[in-house]
Chains A and B, each alone.
Chain A
Amino acid sequence: MNNHSPHIGLFIPCYIDQFYPNVAIATLELLEKLGCKVTYPLGQTCCGQPMANSGFEADTLGTTSKFIRDFAGFDYIVAPSGSCVLHVKEHSPKVDKLHKNQAYVQSRIYELSEFITDVLKVDSIQGSFPHKIGFHASCHGLRGLRLASDSERNEPAFNKTLQLMRELQGMEVVELTRKDECCGFGGTFAVSEEAISVQMGKDRIADHLDKGVEIIVGGDMSCLMHMQGIATRDKNKVQLMHFAEILNQAIS
C-alpha cells in the first residue's frame, strides 16, 4: 500500500452486514489487495432504499443524513451492491443542510466492479476459477449504473464485472437465453407481489440450469438471496456467489 492510495469508505448494505458477512469481508480484502486504504465506518446502517422504494422516500431524511455524515470524509465510497449505490446516487431525498456533502458523496460513490475498472483502472484480475458460471446482471447495476450494456439498447457490448473476471483460468461463462431479465426480487415487491416474484426467480434460475451452470454469479446479494431461497426450496443444487468472493479467492 502506498501513501497515495485513495482512502475508501466501505459501505456495506445492511442485509449484507447481517446475512452475508463473507461478501463484505471479500470486498474489504479485495480492495486492500488492490492497494487501497479501506475503512469501514462503524456507525453506518442502511441507505434507506427499502423505505423509499415502498413510497416512503420522505421518511428517509434521517437515514440519508446519517449516511452523508458517515461517508463525506472519504476519497471514495465503495459498496458491493449496484442497487444501494444507485439509491444513494439518484433516489435519496435532498438534504438541504448537507447539500454540498450530499453532492460530494453522490459523485464519489461507486459499485465495486465499477470502482475497480473505472477508478483503479484495473483491466482484469489474474487467477483461476475453474467453474461454469452464469452471470446475473442486477437491474439497478445494469440499467441504473450502466455497469454493462443491456439487451434493450443498441449499443456496443460491454460488462465491467465480467471484464474483471474474463482472464480467470478455467472459468466458462454461459450465454443465457434471456441475458438480462429481472430475477423478481425488487425489494418489498418480493413480498407484496409474492406470486410473480417467485415465478420470475424460478424462471431466471431455470435459464441458468438449462445451460448447465454450476454457479450463478452476480453483484447484488439481494437478487442472489432471493434466487438462493428459491433454489434451496426447490432442491436445486446450483450455487450463488457474489463476484467479490470469486475475485478475492482468485488473487489470494
Chain B
Amino acid sequence: MSHPENATVFLKDKARAKWHDETLWIVREKRDATIHQIPEWEKLRELASQIKDHTLSKLDFYLEELERNATANGIKVHWAENAEEHNQIIGRILREKNCKTIVKSKSILTEECHLNPYLAERGVEVVDTDLGERIIQFLKQPPSHIVMPAIHLKKSDISDIFHEKLNTEKGNVDPVYLTHAARLHLREKFLQAKVAITGVNFAVAETGEFVVCTNEGNADMGVHLADTHIACMGIEKLIPRRKDLGVFLRLLARSATGQSITNYNSHFRSPSPGKELHLILVNNGRTKQLGREKFRNSLKCIRCGACMNTCPIYRRSGGFSYGSTVPGPIGSILSPGIDLKKYSTLPFASTLCGSCSDVCPVKINIHEQLYEWRQEITKANGSSLKGLSMKMANGIFKSPLAYRISGQLMRASLKNLPDSIIYNPLNAWGKGRNLPDLPEESFKAWYKKNRP
C-alpha cells in the first residue's frame, strides 16, 4: 500500500492517532529543552556535519585505517557487500561455534539485512534484548521507530502481550512490574547465549575501536556473558579520531531522547582473553548512495530519530505507514535509493516544512533531498496522467492569455457548480475543507481599473 493509504487507515482510530502524535511530540519537546542548555549547539551541529562530510569524502581511506587498526587489536574484520553476505558471515560464525541461541542488542542494520528470519530458517533462536525490540519481537512486528521501536504500543498493549508470553498478571499496566518481568525473562536468555550480536554507533578509524550506545545496558550484558561478540556496522558509521567522538555523543542522546548522554557508551577495542570479537563492515547500497551527489550526505545520519519525532506526518501516520526499514523523513530519502519504485510515494509524504533538516544533529538537508527525489521519481515514471496535467499547467502559466482565460473559467465554473459536485467525496480537497469564497474579480482586473 502507498503511504497515503496507510496514513488514512492509521488516522481512522482518532484517539490512538492523537496519542501517537502527542507522545512523540513530548520527545521532541524534551529534545528542545536539552539543546537550549547548550549555547554552542548550532556550532556542534556544524562541526559534526563537517566531520561526517570529510569522512565520507575519504571513506575508503578511513575504512582501511579502521580495518588495519582493528585487526592489530585482535578484532576479526569482515567485509560484506550486501545483506546476503552479512547474513552468511554471521551464519558461518554461528555454525563454527555450534550456536543455536543468540542475544542481540538493537541494530537497525540487522533489520535492514533481515537477519532474524535468515537465522530462524536455520534453526537459530534470536532474542532481541532491547526491551522495545523484545516486545515487538513477541508480536512478530518490525520496529516502527529506529530509537523507540515499540513507540506505537501503549502500556495496555504491552500488558496484554506480557500476560500472554510471560504470564504476567492480566490487566497490570504498572511499568515497573512489566519491566521487572521482562528483566527476569531476558536474564535467562542472556545466560544461555554463547554469541552476542550488537550494532555499532561509531567506529573510530584511528584506534580501531567501536562504540555502542544503549540505555538499558543490554549490549554490555550480552557481550560480557557470551564467548563471541559479533558487531555489525554500515560503512558510514565511521569517524576519523577518538576526539571526534565527543562531538557526536553530545549530539546523539540529546537529539534522540533529550537525555544529556546515553546511559551506556561502551568502547570495544579488543577481545577479552579466550574470547572472540568480530566486526562486519556492510555496504548494502551505501557506496551507490555515496555516488549520488544530491543524496550523498544522507549517509551522515547517526540514527538519532529526531527527524521522526518532529515530523508532523510521521507523528500522524506511524512508522509502519512507510513500509521501509527506516521510516520517517530520513527513511524517505534513504529508501528510494534502495528501490525507487517500491518507495515512490515516500518523498511525497511531506509538506517540505523543513523541520527535519533543522532538528538534524548532523545537518542533513532532508527536506531538500525529498524535493530532489520527487524530481527523480517523476523522471523515472515517464509520462503519467499527473505529468500531463503538469505539462498543461506549464503551458498555461507560460502564456498570460491562457492563464487569464483559465483563471476566469475556473472562477466562473466554481461559482456555477453545485456544492454536491465540489464537495463530492471523490474530490480530495472538498472532503474535509471548503473552497474559498470567490471574489467578483481578480487582482489583475482590479489593478487595470484602479492603476491605469
State the A residues within 8 Å of B (CB): 12, 14, 16-22, 24-25, 28, 40, 42-46, 48, 50-63, 66, 91, 139-140, 142-144, 150-155, 178, 181-182, 184-187, 189-203, 225-226, 228-230, 232-233
Partner of A45, one of B312, B397, B445: B397
Q: How far is the CB of A96 from chain B (nearest CB, A)?
A: 17
A sample of 19 inter-chain contacts (CB < 8 A) reads A17-B407, A20-B439, A24-B446, A40-B447, A46-B397, A55-B348, A57-B375, A59-B390, A59-B391, A60-B394, A63-B394, A152-B359, A154-B41, A154-B42, A181-B312, A181-B355, A194-B4, A194-B428, A233-B432
* Most chain A CB within a 10 A radius of its CB, from B38, B42, B351, B448: B351
Q: How far is the CA of A61 from the CA of B397 in the complex (A)?
A: 11
Q: How far is the CA of A19 from the CA of B349 in the complex (A)?
A: 27
Q: Do residues A198 and B39 form an inter-chain contact, with CB atoms below 8 A? A: no
Contacts A154-B42, A199-B11; A56 near B407 (Cβ below 8 A): no
Residues of A within 8 A of B348 (CB): 55, 189, 192-193
Partner of A17, one of B32, B358, B396, B442: B442
Q: Do residues B394 and A18 form an inter-chain contact, with CB atoms below 8 A? A: no
Q: How far is the CA of A22 from the CA of B441 in the complex (A)?
A: 10
Residues of B within 8 A of A150 (CB): 355, 358
Q: How far is the CB of A216 from chain B (nearest CB, A)?
A: 15
Residues of B within 8 A of A66 (CB): 397-398
Q: How far is the CB of A25 from chain B (nearest CB, A)?
A: 6
Residues of B within 8 A of A54 (CB): 374, 378, 386, 390
Q: How far is the CA of A195 from the CA of B400 in the complex (A)?
A: 34
Q: How far is the CB of B137 from chain A (nearest CB, A)?
A: 29
Chain A interface mostly:
helix
Partner of B439, one of A22, A63, A182: A22
Q: How far is the CA of A80 from the CA of B39 in the complex (A)?
A: 34
B326: Cβ under 8 A from any A Cβ:
no
Chain B interface mostly:
helix
Residues of A within 8 A of B442 (CB): 17-18, 21
How many A-B Cβ pairs are below 8 Å?
A: 210
Q: Do residues A155 and B439 form an inter-chain contact, with CB atoms below 8 A? A: no
Q: How far is the CB of A111 from chain B (nearest CB, A)?
A: 15
Q: How far is the CB of A32 from chain B (nearest CB, A)?
A: 10
Determine the residue in chain A with the shortest Cβ distance to B448.
A42
Residues of A within 8 A of B378 (CB): 54-56
Q: How far is the CB of A115 from chain B (nearest CB, A)?
A: 18
Determine the residue in chain B with the shortest Cβ distance to A38.
B451
For window 434-449 of chain B, which residues contact chain A by CB distance below 8 Å? 434-436, 438-439, 441-448
Q: Do residues A186 and B352 form an inter-chain contact, with CB atoms below 8 A? A: yes
Q: How far is the CB of A139 from chain B (nearest CB, A)?
A: 4
B123: Cβ under 8 A from any A Cβ:
no
Interface string of B377-418 (1 = CB under 8 A from A): 111000000110011011111111001000100110000000
Q: Do residues B410 and A153 form an inter-chain contact, with CB atoms below 8 A? A: no
Q: How far is the CB of A21 from chain B (nearest CB, A)?
A: 4
Q: Do residues A196 and B42 form an inter-chain contact, with CB atoms below 8 A? A: no
Q: Do residues B446 and A155 form an inter-chain contact, with CB atoms below 8 A? A: no
Q: How far is the CA of A57 from the CA of B377 in the complex (A)?
A: 12
B17: Cβ under 8 A from any A Cβ:
yes
Residues of A within 8 A of B36 (CB): 154
Q: How far is the CB of A199 from chain B (nearest CB, A)?
A: 6
Residues of B within 8 A of A193 (CB): 3-4, 7, 313, 348-349
Q: How far is the CB of B312 from chain A (nearest CB, A)?
A: 5
* Most chain A CB within a 10 A radius of its CB, from B3, B310, B390: B390
Q: A-B pairs with the 10 shortest C-beta distances?
A: A186-B351, A229-B433, A55-B378, A143-B354, A55-B374, A152-B358, A198-B432, A139-B353, A24-B443, A182-B353
Q: How far is the CA of A185 from the CA of B396 in the complex (A)?
A: 23
Residues of A within 8 A of B359 (CB): 152
B106: Cβ under 8 A from any A Cβ:
no
Partner of A44, one of B351, B374, B400, B432: B400
Q: Do residues A182 and B312 form an inter-chain contact, with CB atoms below 8 A? A: yes
For window 191-243 of chain B, which residues contact chain A by CB distance below 8 Å? none
Residues of B within 8 A of A58 (CB): 375, 379
Residues of A within 8 A of B71 (CB): none
